[in-house]
Chains A and B, each alone.
Chain A
């Protein structure tokens, strides 16, 4: 009941307070949304138009920057490469993270805490500290410069957070669920994948989204571990639009807009679940 009271009070509160709250929220939203909008309309401008006034609207709807990007660069190939790396790594991160997270949460075995701490430590390693050792490792092991190269570090770096989130989520799933399943004769793996997995959907979506953005934008490993032009990912590809001494900003923005488009589409498609998942993560995590 108390909860309801608070909500009602906010709705019927005094006007200035409401305006103030909304204003603050609006300003926050604008700081997040404006860059994307600015990116989009600036990509329609010509170079000189852009430098004359970087914030003004374009004089005409001009898609020539997009055509240029598509013609001059391998944008679509980079997107394909990035999509493949992201997709395959995500599957591994979710699968391994879910299973390991569940085990650590439910089973009490020797070294459980140690294992959990070990995974958590993984979140603390700064990427640049192990850049060169990783390069050496991959080159010596003959794993460098292949289509699957990036999946290893991506998965390895994605697992800790996913174990962490799944673990704390499963802690709050009632054990009765599994017990009921066991009484009904469900096998362990069936319980895990047909009963626990659907219950964990919100947290898995959260992990998926967090990791998707991280992987889609990942730069350091793509730069260091790959040399083959045909394996280039989008984050490294984008840098070629930045010249050594001068940059064609509108064209770069056209390329950037294309690069963030999949993320935007994904966001709008899953926005409901993302919000749900984020809340689940926030409360339970």
Chain B
């Protein structure tokens, strides 16, 4: 009897597994990982009969990225990406482009899992701080040659390739030019408490914080749930005010000449903690996501917000008309005795697009061409002309008068601002991980500045080993 049952079971399992396998039109029999991916790709046109198949050997390019099409209207870089992609596709109708799109945080999880296996799509987004690891695992193809041959190579802004350079080779094309620390402030609200302009000293800022709190208005809105905002948007700029540029570059190079425990950096941490304790931010700043925090400002419930350039598009799209018209943009004031240059803020290229090493030279040329198009001069022209953004390439002669008032403010401000490194783009990813978590605790008051500095330094030492 037992035998019979076993037979029934076995056959049912077998039948199920057969149906499971039978559905896939081409199940790979190859042990070679590369070929498997290609086979999976070829499956797609077969399943979509409406898709035209031009020629026998259709080249397929796979892209994994975070430019969500549904968010295209609200996000300048996403719009830029799709506009460039569509134009390229039109010029190359015989190439099939397969995209895999995920929200940024999920994208990071997924691509790092893929990186662990070495199974990369042809093109993918790379964070500045990932390059060292990715290059050492042979996941990225060098781009220096393509850049050298690019007709608009001189238009690229100075320093945009810094994060993507490993050794003497460049491995990525910038797709986002980030200014991570800008103070968006509601001018009439500040006027009401006696500041016709954004304060130029920290004493005045603290005075304003007290006054706003008395009135029940949030001075600065901040959504630090994801841990990076306080570090990227505030500490990156504030830290430089204390330590100066050279210190940051020493840390990035990890050459042992600077340390997180240097008194300047500890002072910067103390300053940040002080801000949090004085009530500079919304009470729930450490548990609020970025979205609702930005909305506090957009709805006129906060007097200012310290945020990146990306918040500009957010304000233009979502703020009340009043806030839109009243928004002015400034940078954080200098600190007394600090080494950082006045009139500078943190900025640079945050995300790049990189290309996986290709075996087929013909396809390699094609993918390279697409990549140069996605992050090249036309992309910058589009971002600058349509959105008034400061893009990876310098685009001159743009008429700014048609832009929303906040955008015009931004363009005006950026003409005189120097950029300093953004911590989370250029420092080692694991150091940033520690810094982000520790800064959150610092602002909560559960750790003091010295401890935080020591812990970050310990991680830096660890990385250097």
Contacts and interface: CB of A to CB of B under 8 A. Distances in A.
Interface of A: 47-48, 51-52, 72-73, 92, 95, 99, 131-132, 135-136, 139-140, 142, 144-148, 151, 187-189, 192, 223-224, 227-230, 236, 239-249
Contact of B16 (A92, A146, A224): A92
Contact of A187 (B4, B44, B116, B314): B4
Contacts of B44: 228, 230
Given A72-B70, A92-B16, A187-B1, A135 B104 contact: no
Interface residues of B, number: 60
Interface string B1-24: 110110011001000100011011
Given A135-B116, A187-B4, A245-B310, A223 B24 contact: no
B116 A228 contact: no
Nearest to B104: A244
Contacts of B298: 51
Contacts, number: 125
B268 to A, nearest CB: 25
Interface of B: 1-2, 4-5, 8-9, 12, 16, 20-21, 23-24, 27-28, 30, 33, 36, 39-40, 44, 47, 62, 64, 66, 68, 70-71, 74-75, 98-104, 106, 109-110, 113-114, 116-117, 119, 121, 289-291, 294-295, 298-299, 308, 310-311, 313-314, 317-318, 320
A276 to B, nearest CB: 28
The A interface, classified by DSSP as helix, strand, loop or mixed, is: helix
Contacts of A142: 27-28, 30, 36, 39
B12 A95 contact: yes
A17 B1 CA distance: 59
A239 B106 contact: yes
A106 B36 CA distance: 45
27 contacts: A51-B295, A72-B70, A92-B16, A95-B12, A131-B113, A135-B113, A135-B116, A142-B27, A148-B20, A148-B23, A188-B1, A223-B110, A227-B64, A228-B40, A229-B98, A229-B99, A229-B101, A239-B103, A240-B102, A240-B103, A243-B75, A243-B103, A244-B75, A244-B104, A244-B310, A245-B308, A246-B291
Contacts of A144: 40
Nearest to A247: B291
Contacts of A224: 109-110, 113
A236 B23 contact: no
A61 to B, nearest CB: 23
Given A99-B9, A151-B20, A240-B68, A246 B100 contact: no
Contacts of B47: 230
B299 A52 contact: yes
